[in-house]
Amino acid sequence: MADIKVIQDKIIKYIEEHKKEYENISKAIWEKPEVSNYEFFACKVLGDKLREEGFKIEDNAAGHRTGFAAVKKSGKPGPVIAFLAEYDALEGLGHACGHNIIGATSTFAGVALSKVIDEIGGEVRVYGTPGEEGGEEGSAKESFVREGYFKDVDAALIAHPGTLNLLTGTSLANDPIDIEFFGKPAHAAAIPEQGINALDAVIQVYNGINALRQHLPSDVRIHGIITNGGSAPNIVPDYAKARFYLRSASRNTLNDVFAKVERIVEGAGLLTGAKGKVIRYQNKVDNLVPTPAFDEVYKKHLEYFGETLDHKESGIGSTDVGNVSQVVPTIHPTLRVTEVKCGGHTVEFREECIKPKALESCTLGAKILSLTALDLILDSELLKSIKEQHKTLISQI
């Protein structure tokens, strides 16, 4: 049995000796923000670093041109641990969610753990998963799940930057959908009777969804915009489009909501004569299922490095980490990277994510995540109990 203290010290020593490299990686990604499916720079920087450290890299992983799967095997039996790297920015806002930190931290943790993997056994993976914020080819973790990248993974880890120290919380399942209607153009004054108004159909859907809200569970959220309403007032719109997010605390409830929205679209088509369709324009996002026993291991190491947990504030969003948590035990804690109280997806938080404390958090995050993973590899009973708890929680959904 490996001496856990000796192994821990090796990991910490490696992280301390290489922290500037990963701070620079985080800074470089922040300075060159890229949205979903266009994270070419970030993907290359992280992938090249992992290659340099002896990982075998699969490019274009899970069908995503800016995704990768990095693997380092020990040659000895043992658990497979996956660190999840995110590195996409927000459209028009840059790294206002701190994914520059996530990409560097997850890579750093994976590399640090890999330095002892030959000694302890098992396998380390770092999955580069594009588009957590959505967008073109967004929510790539669902693709990784669907294509089997987690079928032999024992546990997955990621830490999200924020203004508080929090354990893994719940999240909302999310179906990002486009609703399109196709009508028939006509001169709106001279021959309106010959037109079929696609915009009218979209407006009927918008109003229908507003009416639906009073008959939905309290955890459901629906919000949307009209993205195309026609080209000119004197032309009956032959094409119109709206974009909605459908969200719920559970995938099963959300599937029911999706079916109801489909019926609203069908009804609007019957009312107006326009032909409508509903499409998911990116991967579905599932709700996050926390595994408390896994979070307890993370908490132990968080506190070892002098950090304390905060109380969770209100507010809940969606993340494709939820898709991973549906199939393997997963942690998605929040790590405080600034003392400034500001919300994510804001200019203020973006600016905090390039400051020294935020960049230095890559070191702290890498230590906590790698040591958490180490415990799972060295303590088979601990890992077994976490997997059993996860299985029970999934069966109760």
Last residue of a domain, one of 280, 306, 322: 280
Residue 19 shares a structural domain with residue 134: yes
Quote the tokens at residue 381: 């009973």
Q: What is the CATH number of the domain that holds 263?
A: 3.30.70.360
- Residue 311: its pLDDT value, please? 82
Last residue of a domain, one of 280, 296, 313: 280
Q: Which residues of the chain have pLDDT under 70?
A: 1-2, 313-315
Residue 39 shares a structural domain with residue 164: yes
- Residue 313: its pLDDT value, please? 59
Residue 101 shares a structural domain with residue 8: yes
- Predicted TM-score of the model (pTM): 0.94
Last residue of a domain, one of 280, 299, 320: 280
Quote the tokens at residue 13: 């020593």
Residue 268 shares a structural domain with residue 208: yes
CA distances, 60 to each of 77, 83, 268, 363 (Å): 28, 17, 40, 28
Residue 135 shares a structural domain with residue 207: no
Q: What is the CATH number of the domain that holds 376?
A: 3.40.630.10
Long-range CB contacts (< 8 A, 24+ apart) of 346-353?
346/96, 347/93, 347/96, 349/96, 349/97, 349/98, 349/163, 350/93, 350/94, 350/95, 350/96, 353/30, 353/95, 353/96, 353/98, 353/100, 353/101, 353/161
Residue 304 shares a structural domain with residue 268: no
- Residue 2: its pLDDT value, please? 62
Q: How many domains does the chain have?
A: 2
Measured distance between the N- and C-terminal CA atoms of the chain, rounded to whole angstroms: 38
Residue 124 shares a structural domain with residue 32: yes
Residue 314 shares a structural domain with residue 274: no
108: left (phi over 0), alpha (psi -120 to 50) or beta: alpha
Residue 132 shares a structural domain with residue 57: yes
Identify the residue whose tokens are 């701190």: 98
Q: Could you tell me the residue range of the domain that residue 246 belongs to?
A: 173-280
Quote the tokens at residue 309: 């947990």
Residue 225 shares a structural domain with residue 270: yes
Strands 334-336 and 160-162: parallel
Residue 97 shares a structural domain with residue 234: no
Residue 312 shares a structural domain with residue 270: no
Long-range CB contacts (< 8 A, 24+ apart) of 13-20?
14/112, 14/115, 15/108, 15/112, 15/363, 15/366, 15/367, 15/370, 16/363, 18/108, 18/111, 19/108, 19/360, 19/362, 19/363
- Residue 397: its pLDDT value, please? 82
Average confidence score pLDDT of the chain: 97
Identify the residue whose tokens are 């997010």: 245
